[in-house]
Amino acid sequence: MNTVKEKILVLDFGGQYNQLIARRVRDNNVYAEIKPYTASLDEIRAENYKGIIFTGGPNSVFDMSSPHYDKAILDLGIPVLGICYGCQLICFMKDGRVETAETSEYGKIDITVDKKDSLLFEDIPDSVVWMSHTDRIVEVPEGFEITAHSDACPVAAMENADKGIYAVQFHPEVTHSQYGSRLLSNFIFNICGCSGDWKMEGFIENTVNSLREKIGDKKVVLGLSGGVDSSVAAALLSKAVGNQLTCVFVDQGLMRKDEGDFVEKTFTTMFDMNFVRVNCGHEFVGKLKGVVDPEEKRNIIGTEFYNVFWNKIREESDGGFFAQGTIYPDCIESGKGDADKIKTHHNKVKMPDDIKFDDVIEPLRDLFKDEVRKVGELLGIPRELVWRQPFPGPGLGVRIIGEITEEKIRVLQEADAVLRDEIKKSGIENELSQFFVVLPDVRTVGVMGDHRTYDHLVAIRAVTTDDFMTADFARIPYDVLAKVSNRIVNECPNVNRVVYDITSKPPGTIEWE
């Protein structure tokens, strides 16, 4: 059952920005859903879309093996906006002329708006747009007029306003297109007549309904890491099917202080589900004994985690579905978004061959991180989990340099807890993208009271960044650093020195291993 009143369809022709288009529509408080171009006309007709956006794609409309669509879609009376390949496709479907240009047009390009009273270009002056194409329209179909052009592209935009068909050769969805957001909202409101009253609550309601429909009375198993994404997926599934859901939480002993208990308490007290916790910290440390090479440590932690997790799933699973908290950026990272091949289903789970489920469920796969956080807040997940900073899969394992021992884990957890506490109290938490303590395998001489000490050194790492690809060390005020240092050496046994990492990335990485 679909309860969203107003929806825009993003018809996917394989472009790399499809999810971004949907997200930009949602930013206007209008729900957007993506369907592959293989969706049938009847299916589209049945959904009462307020508008349809044809996405870009890597193909050429001349190549008949590339995605095409039933021309009748342009006669449904639903406004259509074609973007890039979608623009050429409209031209092709309506018997205009598309040709392959000698040189591609790529990057930021100036366009001139030719039709000042176009509803699509309302309040949009001549401006910069993002182009990425080789084919171009040279003759618009009958009934269409050119609404914008660039030096190299005679038809940067065209429309048949009477029929509600609009097309742009450029990408309004990327931020490089100066008035791209305005153009999309012009389409949504001026042309499709949407009212913009959709809220994230609508996504939750819709997703919960379709999860119930799909899962029926079967079981569903979810791997819960305690991170934002799997936590939000768990809460959504719990809302949908309650204790038909089993969450498997593997605590490999490498989480931050008390974190495993916090995750368990949150999900066992606030949500209806079966919560299975596997405590295997001891075994992990055993496997890591004597290992100092960072890659080898990562491998061991990864392999061990995989084995423990799937062994537990073998015990817990009783057919049904396997769920995971994949979000949209995970799909790009694993190749989906950039693929020049259209995929209608993407399954990243490397499942052992002997484990079988009816299907994999990824309820957050269309959302971006900030949207996932919003869903999490609405579902009542504690702030600490929803706004949790990134935490590496191998956990504290990559923050203890050299051999990992239970004693070192404890020292690091204590020091890290002090840092987190002081940063929270100082009120600068929101200014930092990530902050943590590292335990290098270094001991230094110190003096405490009248005694000489020879104890651990810990390092504070704190960064600011937008994308984690580059980062700067955070300028934490000295008085906050002083408090952290003072508390760590006083409260954490076996630590007698605190240093602050002032390396940016590059050349350093954020983590030390």
User: Is residue 171 among the annotated active site residues?
Assistant: yes
Segment lying near ligand XMP (by CB under 6 A), choices 132-140, 329-337, 393-401, 480-488: 393-401
Query: Residue 306, interface with ligand XMP (CB under 6 A)?
Result: no
β-strand 51-54 against 80-83: which pairing, if any? parallel
> Which one from 105, 133, 171, 492 is the annotated catalytic residue?
171
Query: Residue 131, interface with ligand XMP (CB under 6 A)?
Result: no
Minimal CA–CA distance to 55: which of 83, 87, 24? 83
Distance CA 375, CA 369 (A): 10
* Residue 393 CB, nearest approach to ligand XMP (Å): 4
Question: By C-beta, is 114 or 511 nearer to ligand XMP?
Answer: 511
* Residue 308 CB, nearest approach to ligand XMP (Å): 17
* Residue 343 CB, nearest approach to ligand XMP (Å): 24
CA 461 to chain CA centroid, nearest Å: 24
What strands lie across the sheet with 274-279, from one edge to the other? 274-279, 245-251, 220-224, 321-323, 359-361
Distance CA 486, CA 501 (A): 17
* Residue 398 CB, nearest approach to ligand XMP (Å): 6
* Residue 73 CB, nearest approach to ligand XMP (Å): 42
Segment lying near ligand XMP (by CB under 6 A), choices 44-52, 195-203, 334-342, 385-393: 385-393
Distance CA 158, CA 172 (A): 14
* Residue 432 CB, nearest approach to ligand XMP (Å): 12
Query: Residue 182, interface with ligand XMP (CB under 6 A)?
Result: no
Segment lying near ligand XMP (by CB under 6 A), choices 89-97, 329-337, 388-396, 419-427: 388-396
Pick the binder of ligand XMP from 195, 279, 311, 509 (CB under 6 A): 509
The residues in 422-481 that bind ligand XMP, with binding defined as CB under 6 A, are 434, 468
Distance CA 394, CA 297 (A): 9
CA 238 to chain CA centroid, nearest Å: 21
> Which one from 105, 173, 264, 304 is the annotated catalytic residue?
173
Query: Residue 154, interface with ligand XMP (CB under 6 A)?
Result: no
Torsion of CA 464, 466, 468, 473, to 10 degrees: -20
Distance CA 303, CA 212 (A): 34
The residues in 334-363 that bind ligand XMP, with binding defined as CB under 6 A, are none
Query: Residue 369, interface with ligand XMP (CB under 6 A)?
Result: no
The residues in 281-300 that bind ligand XMP, with binding defined as CB under 6 A, are 298
DSSP code for 508:
S
Query: Residue 501, interface with ligand XMP (CB under 6 A)?
Result: no
Burial classification of residue 22, based on how many CB atoms lie within 10 Å of its CB (0-12 exposed, 13-18 middle, 19 or more buried): buried
Query: Residue 394, interface with ligand XMP (CB under 6 A)?
Result: yes
Pick the binder of ligand XMP from 154, 294, 329, 390 (CB under 6 A): 390
Query: Residue 223, interface with ligand XMP (CB under 6 A)?
Result: no
Segment lying near ligand XMP (by CB under 6 A), choices 158-166, 252-260, 489-497, 504-512: 504-512
* Residue 301 CB, nearest approach to ligand XMP (Å): 9
- Assign residue 293 a region (left: φ > 0; alpha: ψ between -120 and 50; beta: otherwise): beta
Question: By C-beta, is 12 or 330 nearer to ligand XMP?
Answer: 330
β-strand 245-251 against 443-448: which pairing, if any? unpaired
Distance CA 109, CA 131 (A): 7
User: Is residue 316 among the annotated active site residues?
Assistant: no
Segment lying near ligand XMP (by CB under 6 A), choices 236-244, 320-328, 477-485, 503-511: 503-511
With contact defined as beta carbons under 8 Å apart, do 11 and 3 qualify? no
* Residue 216 CB, nearest approach to ligand XMP (Å): 33
The residues, any chain, with a CB within 8 Å of residue 172's CB and separated by 6 or more, are 24, 83, 129, 179, 180, 181, 183, 184
User: Is residue 133 among the annotated active site residues?
Assistant: no
Question: By C-beta, is 377 or 501 nearer to ligand XMP?
Answer: 501
Segment lying near ligand XMP (by CB under 6 A), choices 149-157, 275-283, 305-313, 389-397: 389-397
The residues, any chain, with a CB within 8 Å of residue 235's CB and separated by 6 or more, are 271, 376, 379, 380, 381
Residues in the chain: 513
Summarize as ranges the residues that interact with ligand XMP (CB under 6 A). Answer: 298, 390, 392-394, 398, 434, 468, 505, 509-511
Catalytic residues: 84, 171, 173
